[in-house]
Every structure is written in C-alpha cells, then in structure tokens.
Amino acid sequence: MGDPHAIAKAFQEHYYSTFDSNRQALSGLYKDDAYLTFEGQTQQGCQAIMQKLSSLPFQQVKHHIASTDAQPSASGGLNVFVTGQILTEGESNPLKFSQMFHLAAQGSSFVITNDIFRLNYG
Amino acid sequence: MGDPHAIAKAFQEHYYSTFDSNRQALSGLYKDDAYLTFEGQTQQGCQAIMQKLSSLPFQQVKHHIASTDAQPSASGGLNVFVTGQILTEGESNPLKFSQMFHLAAQGSSFVITNDIFRLNYG
C-alpha cells in the first residue's frame, strides 16, 4: 500500500467533490455489501446506500473539509476519518460533521466497505 | 459476534469511564501494535499510546457522549464511532469531539487496533 495519508487525501477529495457535484456517481465507490450509517440509520448494500444518499432532503450541498486522518487497518485496508462543515441549500449556517470510512483494496484501487456519518450539533 | 450496537455501547461506557477515572488502565484495552491518531499526531504501539494519553495537558477530564454508532468490520471486528463533548479541568466550556475505534476480537473480548480522535472546534 502507498502512503496512507496521500491515499486518504485523494479519496476524500474525490468523494466529496463527487458528492457535491454528481451524487449518483458515488455508487462506483461503495463495495456491494458496504455499510452506511447516516445519523444513526444503517443501510447495507450499495443499492440501499445510494437510495439513502439520493433521498436526503437537499439537492445542493457543499462540504468544507477541516481535517483528514488515516491509519492502516488490520485487514490491509485503510481507515479514513474526516471532520468538516456541510452547507445545504437554503441554509446560511453550515453544520459541523464528522465521518469515518473503511476502504478495502480492490485491484489497484480502493472501495468503501464502511461509512459512518454524524452531524456535530451545537 | 454478538449485537454490534450492544458491544459498542458497552465498550464506549467502559472506555470513557476508565479514561475519566484511571487513564493508565486504558493500556489493557489497546492491542500491542495499535494505532492512535490524536489531533493529527499518530502513535503506534500500546506503550507509545499510553505515553501520549498520559502527557495530555489535563489531569481531570469528563466525557459526555452524544452518539455511539457501530458496524461490523471486514476483518470480523467492529467499527465504533462516537461523538460527544469533553470538559477538561479549569475549562467552563466543553469542546465537541468525535472519535473512531476499530476493535478486533481477542478470545471472548475485544481490543482496540485503531483509534482516531478529533476535536470539532467552533
């Protein structure tokens, strides 16, 4: 595996720019049996995850990233931990969020096996 | 593996009550080659992690947990994701934090292989 931080940074930039510009294209990033837990609600499977992400109550959204951390995982993959702010359409105040991903190696690339998202209210 | 949420909840309660009452005893919870990334600084190994946790610039600390999420991991372990507030001695305002753990099964119990902590300022 290459440098965990470089991989995590490239993944983070790709993930959130795709989320903010063409959310449907995220389907290519999730493993078939991946998990998403979004604000406490868990979906399993790429199809269920895409349904959840498509049904979020906003169309326009912009993520601003404050930090990206990375660690090798026990299974030869990568843990990625992101904090930042999310600004959705019609809102003037961004909300803080944090999100973790586990990425598994697949050929020369990586796919998301685990994704947990939480807003940090306050 | 039992119910991921029940295991994560029990782990979370044990971890933070130990952190707040007897930080040195956390050494029993980390695997020998575990990773800790605390505010962007990474340590590997239980001994280095305990040195880092012992050298944090506060003695008294209280964690208040807002959410605990859990997902099975690709390697048969557990991803745990926690958000909450941390109040350190001499401070009147708690700070928001988020933290992820990966737990690996070890006999009938679990040990921490990965720990990433971030404050969510603002």
Of B37, B118, B120, the CB nearest to A71: B37
Higher pLDDT pick, B91 / A51: A51
Measure in Å the smallest separation between the Cα of B7 and chain A Cα atoms.
Answer: 16
The contacts of residue A6 (CB under 8 Å, 6+ apart) are none
Greatest alpha-carbon span in chain B? 42
Q: Provide mean pLDDT across the span A31-57.
A: 97
Sign of CA dihedral A52, A58, A61, A66: negative
Residue A122 scores a pLDDT above 70: no
Measure in Å the smallest separation between the Cα of B49 and chain A Cα atoms.
Answer: 14
- Taking CB atoms and an 8 Å limit, are A35 and B83 in contact across chains? no
Contacts of A75 in chain B (CB under 8 A): 73-75
Are A114 and A102 a contacting pair, CB within 8 Å? yes
Q: Average model confidence (pLDDT) for chain B? A: 95
Q: Average model confidence (pLDDT) for chain A? A: 95
Q: Provide mean pLDDT across the span A108-119.
A: 96
With bands split at pLDDT 50, 70 and 90, how would you rate the model's confidence at B108?
confident
pLDDT digits (tens, 9 = 90+) for A59-106: 899 999 999 999 999 889 999 999 999 999 989 999 999 999 999 999
Of B70, B75, B83, the CB nearest to A74: B75
- Taking CB atoms and an 8 Å limit, are A71 and B120 in contact across chains? no
ipTM score: 0.95
Q: Provide mean pLDDT across the span B60-66.
A: 96
Structural domains counted in chain A: 1
Contacts of A74 in chain B (CB under 8 A): 73, 75, 77, 102, 104, 113-114
The CATH number for A37's domain is 3.10.450.50
Tokens found for residue B97: 């934090």
Q: Provide mean pLDDT across the span B84-91.
A: 93
The domain in which residue A42 lies consists of: 4-119
